[in-house]
Amino acid sequence: MPTLPRLIVATRNPHKSSEIRAMLGDTWEVLDVNDFAQLPVIEETGHTFLENARLKAQGISRLVAGWVLADDSGLEVDALGGGPGVWSSSFGGEEGNHAKNNARLVSAMRGQAVRGARFRCTMVLAKAGIAQADFCGTVEGRITDEPQGEGGFGYDPLFIPDGYQLTFAELGQNIKNRLSHRAQALTQAVGWLAGQAQN
């Protein structure tokens, strides 16, 4: 069997890399920073998804060989002026604590009539410490009153994509991976990589 090309995802969030792995099927070998013992945590000091994705992609690609893909993403809620946005991961007061993030969102949205929201994802591809290309994906939807469903991660139990009546957590991975912000950005990123391989 021929060896698959390798893509290293500059994330510590295993949910992101497992979605990316599922979407790429058997076309790429997908690893993330948890597969490498010695990689540092890259500080996300940017104020935009693009700045943070660049920091992660460049920082990790200085330390590993081959293509590195970073994903910076988040939820923008209209009633919260577009927040939590780049600060989605620590909205509840503790970095990466999805239960606290969801509890804060439920309470911030209680009694709120305007429920529109979107997930955004910016991906950056880098090699040898240099960012080479970036890609964006967005999925529009609305925020539920209470969490619904067990699948996915993060804000998925609170987000119903447009055209559906169920949350991402209820719709399951197959449907989420067809519609999501991450799926849209990833389709462009792998298309770009395929073009590079032909050059």
From 22-30, 72-80, 129-137, 189-197, span contacting ligand ITT (CB under 6 A): 72-80
Show contacts with ligand ITT in window 79-98 (CB under 6 A): 88-89, 96
Q: What is the rounded CA–CA span in Å between residue 160 and residue 77?
A: 12
Task: For residue 184, state whether it binds ligand ITT (rule: CB under 6 A).
Answer: no
Count of residues of this chain found to bind ligand ITT when the rule CB under 6 A is applied: 22
Name which position in 92, 141, 147, 154 contacts ligand ITT (CB under 6 A).
154
Q: How far is the CB of 195 from ligand ITT (least distance, A)?
A: 25
Do the Cβ atoms of 21 and 35 come closer than 8 Å? no
Name which position in 137, 147, 152, 161 contacts ligand ITT (CB under 6 A).
152
Do the Cβ atoms of 110 and 117 come closer than 8 Å? no
Name which position in 58, 71, 117, 193 contacts ligand ITT (CB under 6 A).
71
Length of the chain: 199
> For residue 159, how many other CB atoms are within 10 A of its CB?
28
Q: What is the rounded CA–CA span in Å between residue 191 and residue 184?
A: 11
Beta bridge partner(s), residue 67: 7
Query: Is 162 annotated in the active site?
Result: no
Q: How far is the CB of 193 from ligand ITT (least distance, A)?
A: 19
Residue of minimal Cβ distance to ligand ITT:
154
Q: Which residue is catalytic, options 71, 72, 134, 156?
A: 72
Backbone CA torsion sign across 33, 39, 41, 42: negative
Q: Which residues are catalytic?
A: 72
